[in-house]
Amino acid sequence: MTTEPAALASEPETATAPVADTTDSTVTLQVWRGDPDGGAFAEYSLPANEGEVVLDVVHRLQAGPAPDLACRWNCKAGKCGSCSAEINGRPRLMCMTRVDELPPGPITVAPMRTFPIIRDLVTDVSFNFAMAKLVPAFSPPPPPAEGYRMQQIDVERGQEFRKCIECFMCQDVCHVIRDHEENKPAYAGPRFFIRIAELEMHPLDTNDRRDLVRQQMGLGMCNITKCCTEVCPEHIKITDNAIIPMKERVVDADFDPVGWLGRKILRRSKTSPTETAAISAYPGPSPSAPAG
Amino acid sequence: MATVEKATVSPVTIGGTRGGPDQPTVRKDRWWLQPVVTATVLTSFVVYATWAAFVNKDYYVGATEHRDLISPFYSPCLAGSCVPGSHPHIVLSQWMISPAILILIVPLGFRLTCYYYRRAYYRSFWLSPPNCAVADAHGSYSGETRFPLILQNVHRWFFYLGLILNVILTIDAVVSYNQPGIGIGVTVGSLVLTVNAVLLWCYSLSCHSCRHLCGGQVRSFAKHPIRYRLWKFVTPLNAHHMNFAWASLVFVALTDLYVRLVASGTITDFRLF
Amino acid sequence: MPEYETHRYDVIVIGAGGAGLRAAIEARARGLRTALVCKSLLGKAHTVMAEGGVAAAMGNVYSEDNWQVHFRDTMRGGKYLNNWRMAQLHAQEAPDRVYELESWGALFDRTKDGRILQRDFGGHRYARLAHVGDRTGLELIRTLQQRAVHMDIDVFMECKVLRLLTDGDGAVSGAIGYWRPTGDMVVFESKATVLATGSIGRSYTYTSNSWESTGDGHAMAMWAGADVIEMECVQFHPTGMVWPLSVRGLLVTEGVRGDGGALKNSEDRRFMFDYIPEMFRAETADTEEEADAWYEDHINYRRTPDLLPRDEVARAINSEVKAGRGSPHGGVYLDIASRRSPEYIRRRLPSMYHQFMELAGVDITSEPMEVGPTCHYMMGGVRVDADTEASTVPGLFAAGEVAGGMHGANRLGGNSLSDLLVFGRRAGIGASDYAEGRSGEPSVSPAEIEEVVADALSPFGRDGGENPYDIHQDLQSCMQALVGIIRTGSELEQALEKLEELKERTGKVSVSGGRAYNPGWNLATDLPSMLTVSTAIAQGALHRKESRGGHTRDDYPGPDPELGKVNFVQRQNAQRGYAAPVQITPEPLPQMPAELQALLEEGH
Ligand SMILES: Cc1cc2nc3c(=O)[nH]c(=O)nc-3n(C[C@H](O)[C@H](O)[C@H](O)COP(=O)(O)OP(=O)(O)OC[C@H]3O[C@@H](n4cnc5c(N)ncnc54)[C@H](O)[C@@H]3O)c2cc1C
Ligand code: SF4
Ligand code: SF4
Ligand code: FES
Ligand code: FES
């Protein structure tokens, strides 16, 4: 049932399964097997089961021919964002990708490209946890005894971004770091742009993170090509509702002559005291900074 | 005993050896189709618009034909070289080359700095990236952080200027319903000008800067009910910004073409009623 | 000598779900050196899957609501097997914990006047669940995670704890585990240790739980000598998906029935009318007409039997399937398509619509769903002191699903998330107090470490032994078939025998490959916990000779008032580990003060 793992790294296109394997009842997976020392696609064929998702097939491989095949998963319901991988070259959740919705022929499953490999389909996503530390915290006024009052229209804006399940596929697909490793230390990525936007649009927040997001988190590196939006499994409109509004807010702060003139005349600072504090407390991204 | 005191907490690796195949993309679908189509349409438009802007004739159908139709490429016709009847009140009489060059700066700048077109040409011309999960064609990348791309931030100013043009083109459309010597009526030409103006309004109102200025920039909608309503109005338009961008682009060229064909006498502008 | 790294902390928290995060935040806020250890990435814990909401008597929708009513609802739902003090603290403190989340950045849905909106749920007298659409758990975990990140709590992710370590006097002084990415061993020395490891669902074939729910905390506590209680009380949610097999067990929210869905068997009969228990007869509709009218008018009509408590519905579905009136894939039908308009369904149940559309190819606006019971929640767990969450072993604390007592024999929807917050915080305080009061640095025994390491690595040394995946599958089938929703004495005895066999096989497991991110090996290290927990469940079920809440005995179909006054306490004595026997003794429930007792009577 299982073919020998074959090294197909250079030419997966030619790796068509034997004729007998392409019938409806067989599913062929080319799974990346490897670690920091290198790797290759290994091909496996299994009888297909009705309604399966790619993660099911991976599980069957683990229980059968490939017991040490590494992959992350938790909920198997598209809710935790653990099982991100690149299926047929596109970032997707393995647990939400049905085998029967993919075009016939072998399915390639590779780890996320942007992050260092640990083993097989598992990558080291600590980049994202390091970036998460750099976002200045929510800072509301002290709460009244009865709790804060907010309107649904205001919370809905932030709620869209809080749907994020941290699958990090937007980070993976973003060419700023996917194709340019050297940008990583100075680029927080779309996942954290929506986090910043969420806080900036929070009706109770008192921080101003515009300079921070422009100067240190690399908002200007994004060229709004929208791949993050295309891959987001939560259908968050990352570019339209977070990145572009943040770019516009930066324009308000830095590129709007009318605003600048107004501030000059009224002698107002565009940074609030809290923001100034946040920026001076900002440790600056350093590639080797430990999370702890 | 090999004990390491406080060695690591979840270690952070930012760089490191990557996994997966070392090739520009593993995608097997026709990912190249989208950039190719975009590039083709944009190039065709640029070629046509350049030609139309430089020919400097056949852009106005005037009273002699009992019409008042002006090509959107040439309106407002400010140059001294403008054909009689096509002038608004202000005239820059010194300007003798094509009047289109004068005003096309605005729509050009508006569209060049438009968030949607940026996406389109960064992908299809600059290949940065050509499509999602397909490698960027460039070795280094600094996004929009340096000159000249940092100038994209002036988009808002072109938006304001674009609004002025929209008003003028709307007036052009309205006056085209008055056919000199015949009276008020509807011609194909007046309809074309109207559709063109409507599409341009849709494009401008669905602009991201517009959405921001309407209400996107406030922290709390509840405290700014009017701006919230404005924002609520433009947000659904904004979702279709890409469609309006293409529709208005193609239609503005068609409008010019139509006026041109009528002005050159190739076709006559049919009067409906 | 095995190689390992050592970390020293005041407090370590094992588990980064809602309970663990909340505990770590509290300990860190006290200025203690705090570590948070979890076996998957931060923010992926099972808490993220919770949908419905957090129960807290804030009274935003019904001002009549208060902690007393919440307390009464909780006790009645738990069939009075709850630890009364926990139920009281929970009801009293939940609102503050929810407000606190909001000041940390959570965005709950709002009422018209801008307060936190609350929704209705089974067993709660008033609309009480603060929520964010159908992703409340995500909001909760993300808020706590973001809070924790800014407090400089050291997080050890993808680090699996294998065993708790004790000092010479039997006090818990740390833990040993391994980094999943590398397979390297890690030792923690800590003055206080908090367990927050969540559920046990992975011992069953069909479960709504994630792979992490292997009951490690329950098992580790027992191996350290701690008491666990009420292990027989496992909640089966009546409606999980049954087809396709790949999603079997995935939750179908109670909201489907709340919004008009009806359960039907293969004969198209609304069978729930045949299963109305005596206790609920007075308040339940007995004709379809009345049940349907209830949706519009709660005052003049009685409640539909489709919305009986979870344990009743799960049992009814089970009986229908056993009687041969099930659906083709072994469930029953849940039909909302013929009862509500497609627009209504899509508006009210967007995520269910998509879940069925994308994963099962079923359009719930035109076809019925196939559903069946799925293992959902563990009411039992580590026996703790209600105020401090201290276990019966010094230095060890427990909070969240791993702790027992709060929910009695059956948990109400929404009471878990609030449980995590209330008792997570209290465990953090309890552990901090203990750590501050503990003299000297904790010490762990190298011999014990060596033994655990040798044990954990032993599968690599064997060749051609048992396959861990096979053992896991056999364990799941055994628990599913013999210790499922409906239990009988003979089957439970059979299960206990079978478990002994599986323990023996586990001793012979072999795995291939290296230590770095090796799922086969990881599973091999999960097996001991699952076996210990399964044994405790089966044994508890055998001893509780009555039916109560989540525990149903075919051979003892009714409740026994005498057994309603005791907890079944299980512990390991001198011999510890998955292969060692577990003792079980009935012990009286803590005595409730008269004024609370009076509160309960009032409700009747
Ligand atoms: C589908 C679904 C819907 C639900 N909906 C609701 C709802 O609407 N309302 C409600 O109140 N409740 C709900 N619940 C129940 C509730 O979500 C859980 O009871 C609760 O989240 C448990 O939280 P916890 O903090 O105790 O543990 P978990 O969130 O399960 O976290 C366990 C943590 O322990 C770690 N861990 C486990 N073992 C080890 C080990 N050996 N070493 C290191 N770390 C370890 C894990 O990595 C994880 O971080 C729902 C449950 C499910 C499955
Ligand atoms: S839109 Fe910006 S952030 Fe998103 S993928 Fe493209 S470059 Fe990256
Ligand atoms: S924004 Fe979307 S794609 Fe990015 S991490 Fe969150 S859920 Fe994933
Ligand atoms: S396993 Fe949770 S998103 Fe796929
Ligand atoms: S015109 Fe396209 S975004 Fe402004």
Give domain limits for chain C: 238-375, 446-567
Task: Supply the pLDDT for residue A63.
Answer: 94
Distance separating alpha carbons of residues A195 and A216, to the nearest angstrom: 15
Going by pLDDT thresholds of 50, 70 and 90, the confidence category of residue A120 is very high
Of chain C, the end-to-end C-alpha distance in Å amounts to 64
Give the residue from chain C lying closest to A138, CA to CA. Answer: C105
Q: Let me know whether A103 and A188 are in one domain.
A: no
- Assess whether the region C238-375 and the region C446-567 belong to the same CATH fold: no
A68–C521 C-beta distance less than 8 A: yes
Which among B141, B208, B211 has the least Cβ separation from residue A176? B141
The percentage of chain C sitting over the pLDDT mark of 70, rounded to a whole number, equals 100
Q: Long-range CB contacts (< 8 A, 24+ apart) of B200-203? A: B200/B72, B200/B165, B200/B166, B200/B169, B200/B248, B200/B252, B201/B166, B201/B170, B202/B237, B202/B240, B202/B244, B202/B247, B202/B248, B203/B241, B203/B244, B203/B245, B203/B247, B203/B248
Going by pLDDT thresholds of 50, 70 and 90, the confidence category of residue C436 is very high
Does residue A201 have a pLDDT over 50?
A: yes
Residue A4 resides in a domain: no
Residues with CB under 6 A from ligand 1: C 14-20, 37-40, 45-47, 49-53, 136-137, 160-161, 177, 196-199, 208-209, 212, 216, 251, 377, 400-402, 413-417, 420
Q: Let me know whether A52 and A130 are in one domain.
A: no
Does residue A18 have a pLDDT over 60?
A: no
Residue B217 resides in a domain: no
Residue A215 resides in a domain: yes
Q: Are C548 and C563 in contact (CB under 8 A)?
A: yes
- Atom nearest to A193 CA in ligand 2: 3
Distance separating alpha carbons of residues C352 and C363, to the nearest angstrom: 10
* Whether C350 contacts chain A with CB within 8 A: no
Average pLDDT of A218-242? 96
Q: Are C110 and A155 in contact (CB under 8 A)?
A: yes
> Hey, CA dihedral for B214, B220, B221, B226, is it positive or negative?
negative
Average pLDDT of A256-270? 64
Task: Supply the pLDDT for residue C297.
Answer: 76
Residue B88 resides in a domain: yes
Give the residue from chain A lying closest to C516, CA to CA. Answer: A119
Going by pLDDT thresholds of 50, 70 and 90, the confidence category of residue C152 is confident
**Residues of A with Cβ-Cβ distance to C516 under 8 angstroms:** 35, 70, 118-119
Element (H, E) at C530: helix C519-543
C159–B9 C-beta distance less than 8 A: no
Does residue C215 have a pLDDT over 80?
A: yes
CA atoms within 13 A on the CB side of A123: 28
C102–A147 C-beta distance less than 8 A: yes
Task: Supply the pLDDT for residue A266.
Answer: 62
Which ligand places an atom closest to the C-alpha of A81? Answer: 4
Q: What is the pLDDT of chain B when averaged over all its residues? A: 90
- Kindly list the strands in the beta sheet with C129-130, ordered across the sheet, starting from the edge strand earlier in the chain: C54-55, C129-130, C118-119
Token pair of C535 as six digits: 């044994």
- Write down the residue that tokens 């008009």 correspond to: C260
Which among A154, A180, A244 has the least Cβ separation from residue B220? A154
Q: What is the pLDDT of chain C when averaged over all its residues? A: 93
Does residue A13 have a pLDDT over 60?
A: no
A151–B221 C-beta distance less than 8 A: yes
Q: Let me know whether A88 and A149 are in one domain.
A: no
B1–C446 C-beta distance less than 8 A: yes
Report which DSSP code applies to A53: B
- Write down the residue that tokens 């309107």 correspond to: A151
What distance lies between CA C455 and its chain's CA centroid? Answer: 28
pLDDT digits (tens, 9 = 90+) for B84-142: 888 776 677 677 778 888 889 999 999 999 999 999 999 999 999 999 999 999 999 99
Going by pLDDT thresholds of 50, 70 and 90, the confidence category of residue C299 is confident
Residue nearest to atom 4 of ligand 5 (CA): B207
C235-to-C123, C219, C583 alpha-carbon distances in Å: 15, 19, 23
Query: In degrees rounded to 5, what are phi and psi of residue C411?
Result: -95, 140
Whether cis (ω within 30° of 0) applies to the bond prior to C244 is: yes
Residues 108-147, chain C, touching A (beta carbon < 8 A): 108-110, 113-116, 132-133, 135, 138-139, 142, 146-147
Residue A292 resides in a domain: no
Residue B239 resides in a domain: no
Whether cis (ω within 30° of 0) applies to the bond prior to C277 is: no
pLDDT digits (tens, 9 = 90+) for A128-157: 999 998 888 898 998 887 789 999 999 999
Which among C5, C155, C159 has the least Cβ separation from residue B4? C5
Mutate to test the interface with A, among B121, B128, B132, B214 (most CBs of A within 10 A): B132
pLDDT digits (tens, 9 = 90+) for C42-91: 999 999 999 889 999 999 988 889 999 999 999 988 999 999 999 999 99
Q: Are A5 and A43 in contact (CB under 8 A)?
A: yes
Query: In degrees rounded to 5, what are phi and psi of residue C187?
Result: -120, 135
Distance separating alpha carbons of residues C500 and C582, to the nearest angstrom: 12
Distance separating alpha carbons of residues C391 and B237, to the nearest angstrom: 59
Q: Are B41 and B54 in contact (CB under 8 A)?
A: no
C361–A75 C-beta distance less than 8 A: no
Q: Are C169 and C445 in contact (CB under 8 A)?
A: no
Task: Supply the pLDDT for residue A268.
Answer: 57
Does the C-beta of A191 come closer than 6 Å to ligand 3? yes
Distance separating alpha carbons of residues C398 and C14, to the nearest angstrom: 9
Tell me the three state secondary structure of residue A35. strand
**CA A219 to centroid of ligand 2, rounded, Å:** 9
Q: What is the pTM of this model?
A: 0.91
Average pLDDT of C146-154? 92
Task: Supply the pLDDT for residue A262.
Answer: 66
Going by pLDDT thresholds of 50, 70 and 90, the confidence category of residue C347 is confident
Does residue C182 have a pLDDT over 70?
A: yes
* Domain stops at, among A123, A143, A169: A123
Query: In degrees rounded to 5, what are phi and psi of residue C27?
Result: -65, -40
Does residue B40 have a pLDDT over 80?
A: yes
* Domain stops at, among A75, A93, A123: A123
Does residue A2 have a pLDDT over 50?
A: no
Give the residue from chain B lying closest to A203, CA to CA. Answer: B220
**Residues of B with Cβ-Cβ distance to A240 under 8 angstroms:** 208, 238-239
Q: Which CATH class is domain C238-375?
A: alpha beta
Domain extent, residue A47, equals 26-123
Who has greater pLDDT, C110 or C283?
C110
- Write down the residue that tokens 């047929």 correspond to: A88
Smallest Cα distance from B155 to chain A, Å: 9
Distance separating alpha carbons of residues B169 and B183, to the nearest angstrom: 21
Task: Supply the pLDDT for residue A271.
Answer: 52
Does the C-beta of A95 come closer than 6 Å to ligand 4? yes
Mutate to test the pocket of ligand 2, among A238, A246, A247 (most ligand atoms within 8 A of CB): A238
Q: Which chains contact A through at least 3 pairs of Cβ atoms less than 8 Å apart?
A: B, C
- Kindly list the strands in the beta sheet with A107-110, ordered across the sheet, starting from the edge strand earlier in the chain: A38-47, A26-35, A107-110, A84-87, A90-93
Q: Let me know whether A274 and A137 are in one domain.
A: yes
Tell me the three state secondary structure of residue C62. coil
Average pLDDT of A219-242? 96
Residue A18 resides in a domain: no
Going by pLDDT thresholds of 50, 70 and 90, the confidence category of residue C302 is confident
Domain extent, residue B124, equals 33-138+145-198+251-263
Distance separating alpha carbons of residues A39 and A108, to the nearest angstrom: 14
Distance separating alpha carbons of residues A216 and A135, to the nearest angstrom: 10
Which ligand places an atom closest to the C-alpha of A221? Answer: 2
Distance separating alpha carbons of residues A161 and A245, to the nearest angstrom: 13
Residue B169 resides in a domain: yes
Smallest Cα distance from B16 to chain C, Å: 15
* Whether C446 contacts chain B with CB within 8 A: yes
Nearest alpha-carbon partner for C399 in C419, C378, C418: C419
* Whether B15 contacts chain A with CB within 8 A: yes
> Hey, CA dihedral for C399, C402, C408, C410, is it positive or negative?
positive
Residue A291 resides in a domain: no
Residue B180 resides in a domain: yes
Q: Are C390 and C214 in contact (CB under 8 A)?
A: no
Whether cis (ω within 30° of 0) applies to the bond prior to B72 is: no
Domain count across chain B: 1
Who has greater pLDDT, A215 or B200?
B200
* Whether C520 contacts chain A with CB within 8 A: yes
Q: What CATH number is associated with residue A165?
A: 1.10.1060.10
pLDDT digits (tens, 9 = 90+) for B176-216: 999 999 999 999 999 999 999 999 999 999 999 999 999 99
Query: In degrees rounded to 5, what are phi and psi of residue A244?
Result: -65, -45
* Whether C383 contacts chain A with CB within 8 A: no
Task: Supply the pLDDT for residue A257.
Answer: 67
Query: In degrees rounded to 5, what are phi and psi of residue C160?
Result: -95, 125
Does residue C604 have a pLDDT over 70?
A: no
Residue nearest to atom 3 of ligand 3 (CA): A232
Q: What is the pLDDT of chain A when averaged over all its residues? A: 84
C227-to-A229, C346, C397, C403 alpha-carbon distances in Å: 50, 47, 12, 10
pLDDT digits (tens, 9 = 90+) for A51-90: 899 999 999 999 999 999 999 999 999 999 999 999 999 9
**CA B220 to centroid of ligand 5, rounded, Å:** 24
Catalytic residue among C46, C237, C472, C551: C237
Which among A120, A122, A163 has the least Cβ separation from residue C135? A163
Domain count across chain A: 2
Sorted by sequence, the CB contacts under 8 Å of residue A142 that are 6+ apart come out as none
Q: What CATH number is associated with residue A93?
A: 3.10.20.30
Residue A12 resides in a domain: no
**CA A236 to centroid of ligand 3, rounded, Å:** 7
Amino acid code (one letter) for B67: R
> Hey, CA dihedral for C371, C373, C379, C380, is it positive or negative?
negative
Q: SS3 for chain B, per residue?
A: CCEEECCCCCCCCCCCCECCCCCCCCCCCCCCHHHHHHHHHHHHHHHHHHHHHHHCCCCEECHHHCCCEECHHHCCCCECCCCCCCCCCCCECCCCCCHHHHHHHHHHHHHHCCHHHHHHHHHHCCCCCCCCCCCCCCCCCCCCCCCCHHHHHHHHHHHHHHHHHHHHHHHHHHHCCEECCCEECCEHHHHHHHHHHHHHHHHHHCCHHHHHHHHHCCCCCCCCHHHHHHHHHHHHHHHCHHHHHHHHHHHHHHHHHHHHHHHCCCCCCCECC
Does residue C147 have a pLDDT over 70?
A: yes
Average pLDDT of A172-199? 95
Token pair of B128 as six digits: 């940065």
Which ligand places an atom closest to the C-alpha of A74? Answer: 4
The domain made up of C446-567 has a fold known as: Methane Monooxygenase Hydroxylase; Chain G, domain 1 (1.20.58)
Distance separating alpha carbons of residues C105 and B198, to the nearest angstrom: 43
Q: Are C181 and C158 in contact (CB under 8 A)?
A: yes
Distance separating alpha carbons of residues C58 and C91, to the nearest angstrom: 10
C262-to-C145, C269, C431, C521 alpha-carbon distances in Å: 39, 10, 47, 44
Element (H, E) at A211: helix A210-215
Amino acid code (one letter) for A81: G
C558-to-C399, C478, C562 alpha-carbon distances in Å: 31, 25, 12
Give the residue from chain A lying closest to B120, CA to CA. Answer: A225
Report which DSSP code applies to C466: B
Who has greater pLDDT, C313 or A15?
C313
The vertex-A122 CA angle with A116 and A123, nearest 5°, equals 20
Task: Supply the pLDDT for residue C483.
Answer: 96
- Atom nearest to C44 CA in ligand 4: 2
pLDDT digits (tens, 9 = 90+) for A104-115: 999 999 999 999
- Atom nearest to A233 CA in ligand 4: 3
Q: Let me know whether A100 and A138 are in one domain.
A: no
Going by pLDDT thresholds of 50, 70 and 90, the confidence category of residue A287 is very low
Distance separating alpha carbons of residues B103 and B59, to the nearest angstrom: 14
DSSP track, C355-409: HHHHHH---TTTSPEEEEEEEEEE--EE---TTT-B-SSTTEEE-GGGB-STTTT
